[in-house]
Amino acid sequence: MQILPATASSHAADMDWLFAALVGTSGFILLLVFGLMITFCVRYRANSKVERGNRLGRTWRLEAAWTAATFAAFLALYFWGADLYIRIHRPPPDATDVYVVGKQWMWKIEHAGGQREIDSLHVPVGRPVRLVLTSQDVIHDFAIPAFRIRQDAVPGRYETLWFTPTEVGEYPLYCAEFCGTYHARMGGSVVVMEPSDFQRWLDGQGAGPSLAQEGEALFRQYGCSGCHGAASTVHAPRLEGLFGRPVPLEGGGTVIADDRYIRDSILLPRSEIAAGYPPVMPSFAGQIGEDELLKLVAYIKSLADRTAGNTEAGPPAGGKQAGPPAGSAEKDAR
Ligand code: HEC
Ligand SMILES: [Cu+2]
């Protein structure tokens, strides 16, 4: 009989050990406490012939010892769990991005190349995958038991976590947060493939525009390029080379320009103003949906390796992202 689901990711064994340690420690303490309770109940039952005088034995050493021991054991479990949690949320730099949007009642998934799927996720075996999760309506929870990962998808936030699939196969995918009438049906499957099969699958999805290319079109459509483009007369920061860099903020402090920062810059431009710029950027909250936001973020990310001045620069050598041709944002800026 199989108690645990298949173990098919790099985190699975670590998670199972932690789980075993939690169950083991709690089980041991449960047995100890109930064992002693039952022993004493029987031993000191009414009419039993045991010594009942002299109740004030010197037991403080014993008290202190067991209190300290259980405290240390649970603290160790806490640090173990915290360390694993942090590792799962810190993707390695070479991980491939996959964007996941939860919606009543489906998972919408987009690959960096623009390939889309609903309620299924195709990934290559042995390669780290970084998930960027969000929700379009209510809180959902993206759960793949075989990979031992689950993460809430919260509207208005990006959550990232990663995994490396270790076994080719098909595994169930669930929504693990009650999210409405058809919550129980919200799910699908994860298909782990050999890298060559995965490449073939990607190619077979039709060569639509990449996420970044779609983002570039939106960048013009929403008038972003009017302020952020080279030809702009508005004093707005250029977005080339922004992603991943520290940004000094008006009023002190710096933030790293990550997915969250870019998203908040678009929806809540007043919350963090880049130092030295007027707070004139309008909020696009309510106008741009989660799908489109992901594309805009992917586009701004694809500009990471470029410099603002040099419009002749081609796409970064060896860059994975199929970025739009350099300079096209400037050309179209009015
Ligand atoms: C009216 C001009 C204007 C428009 C339109 C505009 N922005 Fe901005 N944007 C600014 C200014 C000015 C700043 C700097 C002040 C601030 O941080 O709010 C800025 C800041 C940003 C930042 C943070 C940049 C940094 O260096 O920290 C991002 C990202 C950004 N905008 C993206 C966008 C996107 C995407 C759009 C279109 C959906 C857009 N902007 C539309 C003027 C504009
Ligand atoms: Cu759900």
Residue with tokens 């520290």, as numbered in its chain = 246
pLDDT, tens digit, 9 for 90 and up, residues 20-56: 999 999 999 999 999 999 999 998 888 888 877 766 6
pTM of the full predicted structure?
A: 0.70
| Residues 135/140/145/151 CA torsion (nearest 10 deg) | 60
Q: Lowest-pLDDT range, 149-153, 209-213, 247-251, 256-260?
A: 209-213
User: Which residues of the chain are in CATH 2.60.40.420 domains?
Assistant: 1-28+75-207
**Alpha-carbon separation of residue 94 from 44, 91, 126, 320 (angstroms):** 65, 8, 12, 10
| Spatial contact of 132 and 168, defined as CB atoms under 8 Å apart | no
Confidence of residue 173 (pLDDT cuts 50, 70, 90): very high
| pLDDT, mean of residues 310-324 | 40
| pLDDT, mean of residues 276-285 | 87
pLDDT of residue 88 exceeding 70: yes
> DSSP code of 253?
-
Q: What is the predicted pLDDT for the residue at 1?
A: 59
Contacts of 112 (CB under 8 A, 6+ apart): 96, 97, 98, 210, 211, 212, 298, 320, 321
pLDDT of residue 313 exceeding 60: no
Taking each helix axis from N to C end, the angle separating 211-221 and 290-302, rounded to the nearest 10 degrees, works out to 100
Q: What is the CA radius of gyration of the chain?
A: 27
CA of 308 to the centre of ligand 1 (A): 15
Pocket-forming residues, ligand 1, beta carbon under 6 Å: 222-224, 226-228, 234, 236-237, 239, 242, 247, 262, 265-266, 269, 273-274, 277-282, 284, 296, 300
Q: Which atom of ligand 1 is nearest to the CA of 261?
A: 29
pLDDT of residue 16 exceeding 50: yes
User: Which residues of the chain are in CATH 1.10.760.10 domains?
Assistant: 211-332
Quick check: helix, strand or coil at residue 128?
coil
**By C-alpha distance, which of 27, 7, 28, 29 is closest to 16?**
7
pLDDT of residue 332 exceeding 60: no
How far is 313 from 327, CA to CA, in rounded Å? 8
The CATH H-level (homologous superfamily) assignment of domain 1-28+75-207 is: Cupredoxins -  blue copper proteins (2.60.40.420)
- For a substitution probing ligand 1, which of 227, 245, 299 has the most ligand atoms within 8 Å of its CB? 227
Q: Taking all residues of the chain, what is their mean pLDDT, rounded to a whole number?
A: 84
| Spatial contact of 140 and 153, defined as CB atoms under 8 Å apart | yes
Q: What is the predicted pLDDT for the residue at 121?
A: 93
Please name which ligand lies nearest the alpha carbon of 175. 2
Q: Which atom of ligand 1 is nearest to the CA of 280?
A: 12
CA of 102 to the centre of ligand 2 (A): 7
**Alpha-carbon separation of residue 114 from 97, 214, 251 (angstroms):** 11, 8, 38
User: What is the percentage of the chain residues whose pLDDT exceeds 70?
Assistant: 89
Confidence of residue 58 (pLDDT cuts 50, 70, 90): low
pLDDT, tens digit, 9 for 90 and up, residues 220-251: 889 888 888 887 788 888 888 888 888 888 88
What is 211-332's CATH topology? Answer: Cytochrome Bc1 Complex; Chain D, domain 2 (1.10.760)
